[in-house]
């Protein structure tokens, strides 16, 4: 039996439908990667297509690597010629070759998020923008959203009309792009935008790639934005052999610019498209899939499909409603411990998924107490750490001295006694002479205003020039060793002798390993290539599958992963779906996206799924009383096993904080946020009925939330639960003894 015969019917159809546009609607766990790899093999082995003519685009390096490995395993000679890469890596390769056609040099730098923030900070300062009123992040978000829609600064300014805020944003956008151009740098959004611009402007370049990529496959198509869609449309426009694979029910990245209508309206753009549904799930039990099917069926903006499996019904889902978040975390810790020591699971088989990062703290506290090793995915990226950023800036400066941000970051690392005043004067000289900051440093003796400081600048310039002269002459590992030796970076850390300094040295050692791995894995390793690889690393790529720890992550980070045991935490209206989505102007659309997120969470589970929530939860120092999430209510009761609904806790136990035993150092864990202290008022739970000075309908004021109207008063045991619709803060529930509301 050949490998194609092992595919199910719809999978075989998807593999063999090679000509013309194809939309493969691949439900969660339906084997879409298998289909894509078999399709590539089928094109080569059965259709006789030259591997050089095949392109496969993914969203993460991990997915690209997995696809490349599988294709290599199926196809012998020539498989390495298939273009398998992420969107951004694809565009980098194209721009490295042709970006000079649109005014950049081919050794451009790629700016990451920290570089962008630093550049935007400079722009706001030069434009005298009050960053207390107008945050740098706000401008960057607006610019990114514009680029997702292929809106350049000129078009943005036209659309601004007479709106003062948008006019200011347009001015900042233009200044930001001008600064990038001066630095010969591109941000991540630019990689896509400039490739589209290149194709639109240079017909011969587009024709070259259309001829090369006669068969194009795109993974996770539901996550594409408008710019990515235009890129794919242009590439596929000549031969139209475009196969896109995705699941509209897993479109959860609207906040990143993903446009779900790219997949929903695929047949509008390609009327001749064949549509194939993959509905057999190979991951989960039928009970888990039934829960997911019932939840997602409530969405209107979707293409109909229903997941099924041959895995059997499996265990019913667990639903647990607790008194508070501490009890919820305690349950997860206890259940994981039992599964490990009683049922034979490993810690790595368990994952706690939640809507917001802030929810991790309670689980961290409980896991520390219970000696459960864990790791938070999506935290501080390795490449965002100070010592790594410093040393990468040296490499960036050696590779592209036009990168002002990189040069300015390291001008005083290690300290060279070059003050802010001197740096400012060099920057002013560079601006007035329309040259890079580094070129101005080389001409320091000609800047009359800096005087003796020129002597301090000269050794830095000589160091960089010396290192640049060795590019291509020595290995990247040796080059990096010379940077460490010449700067004394590690020696300074060794002199500190602190635990923090030791940890930083370990990180630098890891960077050395990364450089060595890159050199060993490339036939022609280059400094530019290494910096590209570093810049294109995605957060999810940091998940080490061999490590044995419980994973804590947001639902957005969990997409594409699977675990035998999943704990879906915080399933409460107001938390998930979020309060903002419930009350937004586009609530119907936003709640549908939240429901897709719930669907993603449910379908991460292979064998066991526990859905948990709390009656009350401390959020930003305030108690919130939330009802069970509407998404839980959408799951038929017969799919749940015995629900755990403990009696309401006594007031004195309600906010019990865990104490910490020994064993904190038994494993490495992300430092947790300090637990906020909480002291109930002495009269908690004893407010007599007649003591309330207000009734339903009365206007009241709160020290934090301002004025509002009392909409409900419920006698909750020893105290009153008061619901107030505040004018600015919205609806809040609170105990009367805590709220201290004053009647207006």
Catalytic residue numbers read 32-33, 219-220, 250, 604
User: CA–CA separation, 256 vs 609, rounded Å?
Assistant: 28
- Determine the angle formed by the axes of helices 113-126 and 164-182, rounding to 10 degrees: 120
Handedness of CA 626, 632, 636, 638 (dihedral sign): negative
Neighbours of 128 (CB within 10 A): 6
- Report the SS3 class of residue 474: strand
- Which positions ≥6 away from 580 have C-beta within 8 Å? 590
User: Would strands 706-716 and 699-702 be described as parallel, antiparallel, or unpaired?
Assistant: antiparallel
Among residues 634, 641, 638, the alpha carbon closest in space to that of 292 is found at 634
User: CA–CA separation, 573 vs 563, rounded Å?
Assistant: 25
- Which positions ≥6 away from 143 have C-beta within 8 Å? 169, 172, 173, 176, 189
Dihedral (C-alpha) 128, 131, 133, 134: value to the nearest 10 degrees? 90
Q: The tokens 């990062």 sit on which residue?
A: 357
- Per residue, what are the HEC states of 624-650? EECCECHHHHCCCHHHECCCECCCCCC
Q: The tokens 């993974």 sit on which residue?
A: 219
Q: Which residues pair with 226 in a beta bridge?
A: none
Assigned token pair, 253: 């990245």
Give the largest CA-CA distance in the chain. 87
Are the C-beta atoms of residues 572 and 319 closer than 8 Å to each other?
Answer: no
User: CA–CA separation, 196 vs 206, rounded Å?
Assistant: 9
Among residues 638, 637, 613, the alpha carbon closest in space to that of 625 is found at 613
Are the C-beta atoms of residues 707 and 744 closer than 8 Å to each other?
Answer: yes
User: Would strands 616-619 and 622-625 be described as parallel, antiparallel, or unpaired?
Assistant: antiparallel
Angle, vertex CA 119, rays to CA 490 and CA 187, nearest 5 = 90
Angle, vertex CA 68, rays to CA 63 and CA 90, nearest 5 = 70
Secondary structure (DSSP) of 305-368: ---EESS---SPBEEEEESSHHHHHHHHHHHHHHHHHTS---GGGEEEEESSGGGHHHHHHHHH
Are the C-beta atoms of residues 490 and 451 closer than 8 Å to each other?
Answer: no
User: Would strands 730-735 and 719-726 be described as parallel, antiparallel, or unpaired?
Assistant: antiparallel
């Amino acid at each position: 039996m050949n490998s194609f015969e092992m595919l199910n019917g719809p999978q075989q159809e998807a593999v063999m439908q090679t000509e013309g546009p194809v939309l493969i609607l691949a439900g969660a766990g339906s084997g879409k990667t298998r289909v894509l790899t078999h399709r590539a093999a089928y094109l080569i082995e059965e259709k006789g297509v030259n591997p050089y003519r095949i392109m496969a685009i993914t969203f993460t390096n991990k997915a690209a690597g997995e696809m490349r490995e599988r294709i290599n395993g199926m196809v012998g000679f020539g498989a390495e010629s298939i273009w398998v890469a992420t969107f951004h890596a694809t565009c980098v390769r194209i721009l490295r070759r042709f970006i000079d056609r649109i005014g950049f040099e081919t050794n451009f730098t790629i700016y990451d998020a920290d570089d962008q923030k630093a550049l935007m900070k400079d722009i706001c300062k030069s434009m005298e923008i009050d960053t207390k009123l107008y945050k740098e992040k706000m401008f960057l978000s607006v610019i990114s959203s514009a680029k997702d829609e292929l809106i350049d600064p000129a078009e943005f300014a036209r659309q601004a009309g007479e709106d003062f805020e948008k006019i200011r944003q347009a001015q900042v956008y233009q200044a930001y792009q001008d600064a990038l151009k001066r630095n010969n740098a591109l941000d991540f959004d630019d990689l896509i935008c400039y490739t589209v611009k290149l194709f639109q402007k240079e017909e011969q370049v587009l024709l070259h790639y259309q001829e090369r990529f006669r068969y194009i496959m795109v993974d996770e198509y539901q996550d594409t934005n408008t710019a990515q869609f235009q890129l794919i449309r242009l590439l596929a426009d000549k031969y139209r052999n475009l196969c896109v694979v995705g699941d509209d029910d897993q479109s959860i990245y609207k906040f990143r610019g993903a446009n779900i209508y790219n997949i929903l309206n695929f047949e509008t753009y390609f009327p001749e498209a064949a549509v194939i549904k993959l509905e057999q799930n190979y991951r989960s039990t039928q009970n888990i899939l039934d829960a997911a099917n019932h939840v997602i069926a409530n969405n209107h903006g979707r293409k109909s499909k229903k997941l099924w499996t041959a895995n059997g019904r499996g265990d019913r889902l667990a639903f647990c409603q607790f008194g508070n978040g501490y009890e919820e975390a305690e349950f997860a810790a206890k259940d994981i411990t039992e599964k490990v020591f009683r049922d034979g699971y490993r810690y790595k088989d368990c994952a706690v998924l939640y809507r917001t990062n802030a929810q991790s703290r309670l689980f961290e506290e409980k896991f520390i107490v219970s000696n459960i090793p864990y790791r938070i995915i999506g935290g501080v990226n390795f490449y965002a750490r100070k010592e790594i950023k410093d040393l990468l800036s040296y490499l960036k400066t050696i590779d592209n001295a036009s990168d002002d941000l990189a040069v300015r970051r390291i001008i005083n690392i290690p300290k060279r006694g070059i003050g802010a005043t001197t740096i400012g004067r060099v920057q002013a000289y560079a601006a007035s002479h329309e040259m890079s900051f580094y070129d101005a440093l080389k001409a320091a003796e000609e800047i009359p205003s800096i005087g003796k400081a020129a002597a301090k600048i000269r050794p830095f310039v000589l160091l960089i020039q010396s290192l640049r002269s060795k590019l291509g002459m020595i290995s990247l590992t040796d080059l990096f060793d010379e940077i460490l030796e010449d700067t004394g970076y590690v020696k300074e850390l060794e002199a500190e002798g602190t635990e923090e300094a030791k940890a930083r040295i370990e990180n630098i050692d890891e960077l050395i390993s990364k450089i060595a791995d890159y050199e060993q894995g490339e036939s022609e390793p280059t400094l530019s290539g290494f910096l590209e690889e570093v810049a294109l690393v995605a957060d999810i790529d940091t998940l080490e599958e061999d490590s044995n720890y419980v994973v804590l992550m947001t639902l957005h980070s969990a997409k594409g992963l699977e675990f035998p045991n999943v704990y879906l935490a915080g399933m409460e209206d107001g938390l998930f779906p979020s309060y903002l989505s419930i009350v937004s102007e586009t609530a119907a659309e936003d709640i549908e996206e939240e429901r897709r997120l719930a669907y993603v969470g449910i379908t991460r589970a292979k064998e066991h799924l526990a859905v948990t929530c709390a009656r009350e939860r401390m959020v930003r120092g305030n108690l919130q009383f939330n009802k069970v999430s509407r998404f839980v209510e959408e799951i038929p009761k017969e799919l749940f096993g015995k629900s755990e609904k403990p009696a309401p806790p006594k007031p004195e136990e309600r906010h019990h904080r865990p104490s910490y035993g020994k064993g904190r150092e038994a494993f490495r864990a992300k430092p947790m946020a300090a637990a906020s202290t909480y002291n109930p008022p002495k009269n908690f739970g004893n407010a007599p009925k007649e003591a309330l000075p207000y009734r339903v309908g009365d206007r009241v004021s709160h020290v934090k939330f301002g004025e509002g109207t009392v909409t409900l008063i419920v006698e909750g045991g020893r105290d009153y639960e008061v619901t107030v619709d505040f004018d600015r803060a919205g609806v809040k529930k609170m105990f009367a003894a805590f709220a201290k509301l004053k009647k207006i």
